[in-house]
Structure 1
């Protein structure tokens, strides 16, 4: 047996080590976070409420009148988070409605005349990509009832595509737009007149590597393409988990695949740039780049340079903020202001496995071990190799590290990192282990992932990992079991910033807040190139898998952009970005601030982690006001960064004279977020212009949540519009409100433009750097 002292020494010595935090979250609070079955009288749930029909003939009621009748049963129309309580008003299937309520509110409703009964919503067949439901696309006022992306072409620059996958069938799809100039390269040369297997959904597929085809061999490209614009596919699941209907964000958009990431050699810059160039030439409307770009000055960043041209052509680019699974959080990449930079967030769905110890303790984690094989392991001995020798090899269950240990028939505890989970599972399996428990490091925090591994498995949060390691290293005969509980909804808090999501600020863009937005990026179910897990069965044409990272978040936003461009073909890419950012949610499903899962105490996320917040597609459809940016504005911004004419010309691909074009500082770019450098001896005024895309005749009033230590004054404080596309200028003057701010400190606030009719709340995050 190893003592606590010797076990703790490993954590301090190894680069791979856990944090030795002595103050763990109280058990009651822990279960409120990780136990999806936890319930309380104040936790909001979805209920189906049965009521007597109104006294007059329901057939004669219009939709508005019926909705008002159902609203009369509710305590109010919205939750604290701003979400509408009413989800559906039913007319024929039942007399009643679906709404978000707490058990206590349902109990109060029982005394209301006309109330019959209410019961919590049951999950029969889950939405498997699930994020269309999680993001509200299917609500009664959701964007899918207005558009599903028809006529828009999404170009996916990735590892290729599985051309025969059901997510890319073309049933019901219209032909591609006449502007489409791409081709399908599966059968040789890229010649549009050669018969191919592309169709009206997958309208193009090209490869940029010798001796390869556009076919996806890794699964990544198929996953991202189907997340952005895959078909609605029933019966999708991962080895029996999350069984239901899968769909991309824009299921009626067209897909063009550009294989710029090799099956074995990664994603060379030259192929990435070539793919983007070809996509621009082919006529795509949206680019989805799940590329983990390293921060670099904009004139040295080929992706930034390539996508500048895309922006000039009216093409919207969604790109990955970056993944950070190491002790030091990665600095956000893809930071150019003409790119929508996407961070990764969680959802409220979990595929649950529990670790139960022989002392009665239980820990909830995640898995995707095949449901048909997922019987309990039974109570068997636990082994923690990290306690046997002071080596990274042991702690991480790396190849060869278990050769001299007896793990036969035992569950092995393995630290996350260095090798992939499936590689660790193979090592444990080869050594005779009965199961594997994957232990999050401090920097993995509370973010867990679902993997279909070779043996029974579960991944635990860092907080639970520390408790389990302590039990295993201080108990004479530690024993435990892995029990599989299937797919559960209602995890809290959700959404939250995933521990792997990269952070700003980025030093290369003048301080503009990045990432711009959060999109779902953890345990996203989407198309895969082949069946996964042990003893795979079923056709590869129906293979799905869970994926996690900003790679999964990025196509969500590409798909949302496709929806908006389909609905508003006259909007510029900057207008689309503004609509997404100014309507984002900064609170979770329970109305609390979005938190960071890497932080040990689940502290609120800063703007440099979440940008404007979690994407809210249906609100982005009708944002009221937008901030537009023209290509010439970006040129003045580049000149203002101090680039000489030649370097600006390198980005724009045409000759630029900064003397002629003029210069603006980064904070003066007409961006939807505001970042202002400020010192105690100055005040600063920034300029913005908004374009009316809401009601023609409308008035907006400014509301400022001032950053700590700063006074902010908006002029004019009211904006009046009389027509669509009318533009109005305003200024915000920032004055320091304390004499000695700490150098390098950031302070956050918000600027809201609220319409007088209450329909619109146009939000801009403010970050002041002292």
Structure 2
């Protein structure tokens, strides 16, 4: 039976073989150490293995070391007795989606509370792509940091090849202090550049950045980054948990893999971090209609365009028409820039411009700097064809209607729960759609949980200024206890979408009641007759006595709740009460069960999320699957993957990407344990095995079969 992190040697032959790893290629690995410090271990290996390069040492938030070398050299170090675990580098990326101009652009004014607190004296570390500290709205608050990519004291954004803007945008949401104001405009910003060109970085840099930030005394750290491994035991998650233990409040973006469930990725899986999902605030959105047609087209403005605020009907035409005056003009993509196309149409009298894409997908573009007095938007190819057929050919005019959008979760925001421990995530929601903030050279609207997380980092800075004695756990409790639930079209959004709800900064600053933990995680139900109690601490933060009442969730066959009778809590007093769930497994359906326990006190309503899971559900059983050139032994490949629960059997088949020609069975394993699994593969290899492949992983759990595909690239 393979154990977690145990190496299993297999001899397998693929139909076409593999290319032999280059013995001179250098690889970076992270070693978790036992019974020794990173500095001691570095001295120990410097004389024995002098050709190895120590990339980073971690002693504050992770007892380990990152080492770079050839597979043969790394093989020797991995076998030393001081090494507890070994991890390959993981890739992390920013958590913003495409540029967006659809609808109303938002600023941090939407969240900055009516308070005298501004975050003054609070240190906030932005672990990201760097920060443009020359931006006029950030110069005043920028205090320093470190560059983990170039290893210097100037964590500036990448300005040339692979130029970035993400970290500057995040910093502005937190603490811009100029023409634009952040949530905490007087907080001190420290930048730690862990993501380089293109917004990509590795776990080595992310862990090192967390270490630097903690050693520099950050009160708050913002991590608007992540990967797709839904599991709580990866090194970055451990580093986040350790930083919190040492007194730093850590905010993590939930990820942009929604709307599917089970899409939270590390380090947002950290149970102690504040994991933030993205919400879309209520707004009016323009849509385009044609009389007699049911179809409506949403307006996708190009970046830099004025709002689509047309109030009349207009005839449609194409750019080839000589008479464009007073019309909305369809312009095909290609040939010249969007700005040149829009200007040419405007000069001829167009009232608005619609750029028609060459494919059936949203077109993201910009006319920044042009400042035209007419709106410029984009449509897909099929939408353009529809406008030509139903508008131009049928001689029908185009009308603009305004539709109202509710305050709800953004479709892209990752959902929980977390595998293995079955915890509720995210913890809270904040604005993440069309958020305008600072970027090098100006301002820009972006969307993503990357934009939601810094809103909460700013709120955390306000709370730390107002209550300097509050711990990271106190700050998280106050934010979650005071959050407001969002309603869906038919019912309240579930905890795995919104956690405790949408952040309420004013209530978090001056709370009346704290409820801890912020969510009841009952775990997975395996027994036929299940019973579990969770102790809940209720603390009166107000100035008057409060009577607290808890309401049982709706009755369900086979399921019984026990909640405490009403009780009183004096000012400053805390009481521990028990909430219990009992169930008969055969009467309760499979899947995730979640909801809220309603709590009422002093005329205010609080909502405590809960979750338990019955048997098999729709979460991914396998995540983080990878094949890489082995550095620990002379085996040709090493595999690694995360299992959300124990499995009876797992197999891996390899297919050529594109043709899906079956290359053969790569791996067969029996009786696997939950968590991280890794092992080695020896193969008969040839030089022609290069290119893109699809690894299909099939896992059997209690006589049910699940399959997942992962992209693999061999150079």
Following superposition, the deviation at residue 731 of structure 1 comes to 1.0
Equivalent residue in structure 1 for 2:430, among 496, 519, 522: 519
Aligned residues: 481
Give the aligned partner of residue 748 of structure 1.
594
Following superposition, the deviation at residue 318 of structure 1 comes to 0.8
Give the aligned partner of residue 125 of structure 2.
155
Give the aligned partner of residue 205 of structure 1.
145
Give the aligned partner of residue 616 of structure 1.
504
Following superposition, the deviation at residue 470 of structure 1 comes to 5.7
Following superposition, the deviation at residue 624 of structure 1 comes to 2.7
Determine whether 1:380 maps to 2:317: yes
Equivalent residue in structure 1 for 2:166, among 216, 220, 226: 220
How far, CA to CA, are the matches of 1:561 and 1:151 in structure 2?
13
How far, CA to CA, are the matches of 2:227 and 2:555 in structure 1?
31
Q: Is the contact between residue 517 and residue 610 of structure 1 (CA under 8 Å) also seen in structure 2? A: yes
Give the aligned partner of residue 206 of structure 2.
272
Give the aligned partner of residue 416 of structure 2.
504
Q: Is the contact between residue 130 and residue 147 of structure 2 (CA under 8 Å) also seen in structure 1? A: yes
Determine whether 1:249 maps to 2:183: yes
Give the aligned partner of residue 564 of structure 2.
716
Counterparts in 2 of 1:381 and 1:450: CA distance versus 1, 3 Å: closer
Counterparts in 2 of 1:127 and 1:476: CA distance versus 1, 3 Å: closer
**For 1:547-598, what per-residue CA distance to the aligned partner results, in whole angstroms no more than 9, with x for missing partners?**
11111011011111111121122222112112111221213xxxxx135xxx
Following superposition, the deviation at residue 767 of structure 1 comes to 2.2
Give the aligned partner of residue 636 of structure 1.
none
Q: Which structure's residues are more often strand, by fraction?
A: 2
Give 3-state SS (helix, strand or coil) of 1:562's partner. Answer: helix
Determine whether 1:553 maps to 2:465: no
Following superposition, the deviation at residue 288 of structure 1 comes to 0.6
Q: Is the contact between residue 290 and residue 390 of structure 2 (CA under 8 Å) also seen in structure 1? A: no
**For 1:267-323, what per-residue CA distance to the aligned partner results, in whole angstroms no more than 9, with x for missing partners?**
222111111111101111111110033225433x22212212211121111111111
Give the aligned partner of residue 40 of structure 2.
none
**For 1:666-691, what per-residue CA distance to the aligned partner results, in whole angstroms no more than 9, with x for missing partners?**
xxxx4434444446633332222233
How far, CA to CA, are the matches of 1:528 and 1:202 in structure 2?
14
Following superposition, the deviation at residue 735 of structure 1 comes to 2.7
Give 3-state SS (helix, strand or coil) of 1:766's partner. Answer: strand
**For 1:481-523, what per-residue CA distance to the aligned partner results, in whole angstroms no more than 9, with x for missing partners?**
99999xx9xx633321111111112214x11111111111110
How far, CA to CA, are the matches of 1:439 and 1:348 in structure 2?
32
Give 3-state SS (helix, strand or coil) of 1:553's partner. Answer: helix
How far, CA to CA, are the matches of 2:104 and 2:287 in structure 1?
23
Counterparts in 2 of 1:570 and 1:373: CA distance versus 1, 3 Å: closer
Q: Is the contact between residue 295 and residue 332 of structure 1 (CA under 8 Å) also seen in structure 2? A: yes
Give the aligned partner of residue 458 of structure 1.
377
How far, CA to CA, are the matches of 2:147 and 2:280 in structure 1?
32
Give the aligned partner of residue 132 of structure 1.
109
Determine whether 1:594 maps to 2:488: yes
Q: Is the contact between residue 276 and residue 456 of structure 2 (CA under 8 Å) also seen in structure 1? A: yes
Q: Is the contact between residue 437 and residue 457 of structure 1 (CA under 8 Å) also seen in structure 2? A: no
Following superposition, the deviation at residue 338 of structure 1 comes to 1.0
Give the aligned partner of residue 144 of structure 1.
114
Q: Which structure's residues are more often helix, by fraction?
A: 1
Give the aligned partner of residue 464 of structure 2.
565
**Higher RCO, Cα 8 Å, sep 6+:** 2
Following superposition, the deviation at residue 693 of structure 1 comes to 2.3
How far, CA to CA, are the matches of 1:730 and 1:516 in structure 2?
22
How far, CA to CA, are the matches of 1:367 and 1:574 in structure 2?
42
Following superposition, the deviation at residue 203 of structure 1 comes to 1.2
How far, CA to CA, are the matches of 1:696 and 1:291 in structure 2?
42
Counterparts in 2 of 1:473 and 1:621: CA distance versus 1, 3 Å: same
Q: Which runs of 5+ in 2 are unaligned?
A: 1-102, 321-328, 346-351, 615-715
Counterparts in 2 of 1:720 and 1:356: CA distance versus 1, 3 Å: closer
How far, CA to CA, are the matches of 1:753 and 1:611 in structure 2?
16
Give the aligned partner of residue 579 of structure 2.
732
Q: Is the contact between residue 542 and residue 571 of structure 2 (CA under 8 Å) also seen in structure 1? A: no
Give 3-state SS (helix, strand or coil) of 2:192's partner. Answer: strand
Give 3-state SS (helix, strand or coil) of 1:267's partner. Answer: strand
Note the 1:334-413 alignment, pairs <5 A: 334-349=268-283, 355=288, 357=290, 363-371=297-305, 379-381=316-318, 410-412=330-332
Note the 1:12-27 alignment, pairs <5 A: none
Equivalent residue in structure 2 for 1:769, among 599, 603, 613: 613
Following superposition, the deviation at residue 263 of structure 1 comes to 2.5
Give the aligned partner of residue 243 of structure 2.
310
Counterparts in 2 of 1:704 and 1:603: CA distance versus 1, 3 Å: closer
Give the aligned partner of residue 550 of structure 2.
702
Following superposition, the deviation at residue 746 of structure 1 comes to 2.6
Give 3-state SS (helix, strand or coil) of 1:168's partner. Answer: coil
Task: Indicate the RMSD between aligned Cα atoms, in angstroms.
Answer: 4.4
Following superposition, the deviation at residue 424 of structure 1 comes to 11
TM-score, normalised to structure 1's length? 0.54
Q: Is the contact between residue 264 and residue 425 of structure 2 (CA under 8 Å) also seen in structure 1? A: no
Following superposition, the deviation at residue 260 of structure 1 comes to 1.2
Following superposition, the deviation at residue 326 of structure 1 comes to 9.1
Give the aligned partner of residue 535 of structure 2.
687
Give the aligned partner of residue 228 of structure 2.
294
How far, CA to CA, are the matches of 2:359 and 2:578 in structure 1?
47
How far, CA to CA, are the matches of 1:339 and 1:247 in structure 2?
26
Give the aligned partner of residue 61 of structure 1.
none
Give the aligned partner of residue 672 of structure 1.
519
Determine whether 1:528 maps to 2:439: yes
Q: Is the contact between residue 358 and residue 379 of structure 1 (CA under 8 Å) also seen in structure 2? A: no
Counterparts in 2 of 1:498 and 1:451: CA distance versus 1, 3 Å: farther
Q: Which runs of 5+ in 1 are unaligned?
A: 1-125, 138-142, 171-200, 235-245, 384-408, 415-422, 531-542, 588-592, 596-601, 629-669
How far, CA to CA, are the matches of 1:466 and 1:748 in structure 2?
40
